[in-house]
Amino acid sequence: MTEPTTATDTVEHAKTQPDTDQPYAELGLKDDEYDRIQAILGRRPTATELAMYSVMWSEHCSYKSSKVHLRQFGDNAPKTDVLLVGMGENAGVVDVGDGLAVTFKVESHNHPSYVEPYQGAATGVGGIVRDILTMGARPIAVMDSLRFGDPENPDTPRLVDGVVRGVGGYGNCLGLPNIGGEVVFDPTYNGNPLVNALCLGVLRHDDIQLARAEGTGNKVVLLGAKTGRDGIGGASVLASATFEDSATGEGGGPSKRPAVQVGDPFTEKLLIECCLELYKQGLVTGIQDLGAAGIACAISETAAHGKGGMHVELDRVPLREASMPPVEIAISESQERMLAIVEPGHVDEVLDLCTRWGVLATVIGEVTDGDRLIVTWHGETIVDVPPGSLADDGPVYERPIARPADQDAIQADTTKSLQRPSTADEIRDTVLALAASPNLASRRWVTEQYDRYVLGNTVLAMPHDAGVVRLGDDTDRGVALALDGNGRYARLDPYAGAQLALAEAYRNVATTGAKPLAVTNCLNFGSPEDPEVMWQFAEATRGLADACRELGVPVTGGNVSFYNQTGATAIHPTPVVGVLGVIDDVRRHLPSGFGTDGDVILLLGETHDEVDGSEWAWVTHRHLGGKPPKPRLDEERALARLLCRAAEHDVVTGAHDLSDGGLSQALVEAVLLRSIGAEITLGRDPFVALFSESTARAIVTCRDARVDQLLEYAAEHEVSVARIGRTGGSSLQVHDLFDIPIHELRDAHEATLPRLFG
Amino acid sequence: MTARIGVVTFPGSLDDRDALRAVKIAGGEPIPLWHGDHDLSRVDAVVLPGGFSYGDYLRAGAIARFAPIMTEIIDAAKAGLPTLGICNGFQVLCESHLLPGALIRNKGLHFTCVDQRLRVENTKTLWTGELTQGQEIVIPMKNGEGQYVADDRTLDELEQTNRVVFRYIQGNPNGSRRDIAGICNERGNVVGLMPHPEHAVDDLTGPGTDGLALFVSVLKSLVAA
């Protein structure tokens, strides 16, 4: 290895030359944050220390604006005995019985996906997969929640194509089935798409790994890809700042591409298999993935969370480019890397196993008995800090909050004045228009680009309400996962909006027959420095924490993504919520559609006149105003219990939740699942019956002989139930209103995305 | 005694576990094989599974073809060892010249995952004896580079010698020449196909169980032999 040609800013140098000008503002640090670093160190930071603080104290890594609000998820959590690992680790771990546990988490990769859609989305998947791997779990499925701008916006096809190919390209090559998610279009995401990726992993209780560096003399081993110049400042420059102006491309344009990481799923696949074998053979005492803030984050977090200190020789890190200075090596976000803590006696075995898998492994340091994180570069000390100051003691802000000036006006602007369809023909046209609208149309064009079969345990995937996977070949136990959000609802009322996202995911899990157990979330908002955005954030977190308590499902972890805005305009507040449920016997899962002719169709739950913020209001009037449907959490819980019980006792043959697009859309989807028609009779106000988005509702199908049993269960759980029709035939027929042949429904439903993006 | 069916794991193989499971469900003894070994572990047949060996970075299957274990497999297959290549495995067989032609990017340039309907064109191979001539089966197909191409002379020869084993029906998903989904060598012991029979062995997790027949076929042929 050659000596660096330019002088390196050492700790010694920092002491002797205290007055050096440092570019802390360019790195995203505020004046008082810089002062605080000097106070912690008793001197100015070195260039490498400064870079490390800038990324570790960035909004993305430190949660400095959100921390005070996120505490509610812990303080206000429902009592539960299913959490083996709660918030604060890389991902929560949930006990699902029989000694099995699962871990799951959703994370954003929004800004990178705008700058470079393919790599941004791909590495979003790669990053969340490593989080799951870090817990000691085998990753077994992925999901993704994607939001794009107006489909007619000229930039949207570029983003849709790149993001979908990126999600697929990485996940497919990694061999993880993609089992669901969402794709949403709204002009609010023009210039700021949302790419939220979720991964699910399975492990046995005693397989849990922790991200801790302990045991003086233990070796710090870097596994995986070489470190390169990609993703420099990804966490700070890209994820923790606003795009300035979408019109000129400033801020989000090509100039920021070096801050986007470049993914290599093949290397990640080898890294996964290699790490799982290291765990199995008991060769590591601690493990941490390298994601945002790269080596800086991994070494400071593992050191801070263990006992003792750490000494890292940065010049030992294998590089793609020999000329990289230590500052860049410390904060590079090159993908497909892990950091393992290994007892000295196991180092050779670890290196041998890595060789077998073709994974590069390098001892870069060791755990010390001190309390400092020391990083050297060719023998000279360039970092000497308390690790906790980087990892845990970053700034915490109580940001000012202000209810948006237009909040009252937007809530007052209800759908009352909008023309509702009244004739039979108008209603028929509305059903078809909704079925073909970009947000409700078939997702096939997207989901066919994802492998849903690999690993051979996928029981349900798209277009079902939730993904269901069996947890292994030797068990019938499975889990269901759903990921939902609704930015429009949250814009109208962020407290209710967050609850509605949870309620929908919770309901989607229950419609498969699974019992909802735990929650992950990805909170996508504008700039926290805008008090109106902060109000939305405060309301949404409060709403979500309250609803989690009421439904008895704890938050296990998640991610906050701020600065989703272009110039002064923030996106709609968009809390995306993932719910995980367990199903003791996956063979009893329920499909979300009609499976045979002659089943009775029943509607569970109550329908109210709630169309503000609905797909109908948007599709037919481009209207957003009023108040979203009321969250009815007691009713959601009752409905979920009823659905689980009905599935367990084989009382129903299928169940589909009612959400965006109401009963109309639910019927269309249930009919199209297996091309089995239905005959429906509605009550007095067909418009409300078909298009209201009242919550806590589902349709179920039932054989004649089982209807009485279902009614009995419904009465016990106090869920209202109405018989609305019967499956069969080759059309969706609603008495006195319309009769739409299945092929016409299918044409409407399936043509939209290929027309827009194919 | 049941037959031993090996499944090779290359770096980047993804459906190796699925293939091992399918062998087990069919009643065979699944034997994992490692790309870096020169040892076929006395297997009676071998499956090259789907996936992205070596990331498919140079060209699908192009690097895996040079894996140490392929030396043994190529020799054994030429000597009659029943060999099945699924998806990436089919690509490896073509790169190894055990089968003619090549697989290139799908016509639509997208990775596509669909439940694909196929027509069985040849039941004389070691892997298709349990199917019937002209039978229609549905098994998942998922690939980005599944378009089968060869020059016209090769294609004509494949047709004339009855070596097209499976053909896509109700739509050609990737632009393959003459709707070819799978082919075999002259002896009929080496079969390659793009769709994934190992994903259609259980009603719970697949679109049906049509894929099981391939694994049952080879086991029966081995017992008969």
Model confidence over A271-330: pLDDT tens digits? 999 999 999 999 999 999 998 889 999 999 999 998 889 999 999 999 999 999 999 999
pLDDT at A548 over 60: yes
pLDDT of A673 reads 96
**Which ipTM did the prediction report?**
0.95
pLDDT of A172 reads 96
Residues B35, B184, B198, B199: which is the catalytic one?
B198
Mean pLDDT along residues A256-272? 84
A3 or A711, greater pLDDT: A711
pLDDT at A4 over 50: no
**A14-28, A246-260, B69-83, range with the lowest pLDDT:** A246-260
**CATH number for the domain including B13?**
3.40.50.880
pLDDT at A257 over 80: no
Q: How many domains does chain B have?
A: 1
Mean pLDDT along residues A34-54? 95
Which residues of chain A are within 8 Å of residue B10 when distances are taken between CB atoms? none
Tell me how far apart the alpha carbons of residues A582 and A102 are, in angstroms, rounded to a whole number. Answer: 10
Residue A377, beta-bridge partner list: A380
Active site residue B87: yes
Q: Count, in order, helices (H) and strands (E) of chain B.
A: 5, 11
Which of the four pLDDT bands, split at 50, 70 and 90, describes residue A3? very low
How far does B9 lie from chain A, in Å, by closest CA? Answer: 11
Tell me how far apart the alpha carbons of residues A145 and B190 are, in angstroms, rounded to a whole number. Answer: 42
pLDDT of A5 reads 42
Which residues of chain A are within 8 Å of residue B205 when distances are taken between CB atoms? 453, 456-459, 470
pLDDT of A395 reads 93
Tell me how far apart the alpha carbons of residues B21 and B209 are, in angstroms, rounded to a whole number. Answer: 13
Model confidence over A432-462: pLDDT tens digits? 999 999 999 999 999 999 999 999 999 999 9
Model confidence over A476-526: pLDDT tens digits? 999 999 999 999 999 999 999 999 999 999 999 999 999 999 999 999 999
Find how far residue A501's CA is from the centre of its chain: 13
pLDDT of A250 reads 44
pLDDT of A249 reads 42
**A74-83, A328-337, A492-501, B113-122, range with the lowest pLDDT:** A74-83
Which residues of chain B are within 8 Å of residue A447 when distances are taken between CB atoms? 113
pLDDT of A714 reads 98
Model confidence over A613-646: pLDDT tens digits? 999 999 999 999 999 999 999 999 999 999 999 9
β A731-734/A721-727 pair status: unpaired
Which of A169, A266, A454 shows the shortest C-beta gap to B57?
A: A266
Active site residues of A: 60, 109
Residues B129-159, buried b or exposed e (16+ Cβ, 10 A)?
A: bbbeeeeebbbbbbbbbbbbebeeeebeebe
Mean pLDDT across chain A: 93
Question: DSSP secondary structure string, B65-110?
Answer: GGSHHHHHHHHHHHTT--EEEETHHHHHHHHTTSS-SEEE--TTSS
Model confidence over A584-611: pLDDT tens digits? 999 999 999 999 999 999 999 999 999 9
pLDDT at A243 over 70: no
Mean pLDDT along residues B11-19? 96
Given an 8 Å threshold on Cβ–Cβ distance, is A448 in contact with B55? no
**A80-94, A292-306, B144-158, range with the lowest pLDDT:** A80-94
Taking the CB of residue A121, how many other CB atoms lie within 10 A of it?
Answer: 31
How far does B40 lie from chain A, in Å, by closest CA? Answer: 18
Structural domain harbouring B206: 4-224
Mean pLDDT across chain B: 95
Which of B113, B205, B206 shows the shortest C-beta gap to A451?
A: B113
Using a 10 angstrom Cβ sphere, with 0-12 exposed, 13-18 middle and 19 or more buried, the burial of residue B22 is buried
Which of the four pLDDT bands, split at 50, 70 and 90, describes residue A81? confident
pLDDT at A211 over 90: no
- Helical (H) or strand (E) element with A201: strand A194-204
Which residues of chain B are within 8 Å of residue A169 when distances are taken between CB atoms? 111
Structure tokens at A243: 């795009």
Model confidence over A463-474: pLDDT tens digits? 999 999 999 999
Which of B18, B55, B202 shows the shortest C-beta gap to A173?
A: B55
pLDDT of A675 reads 97
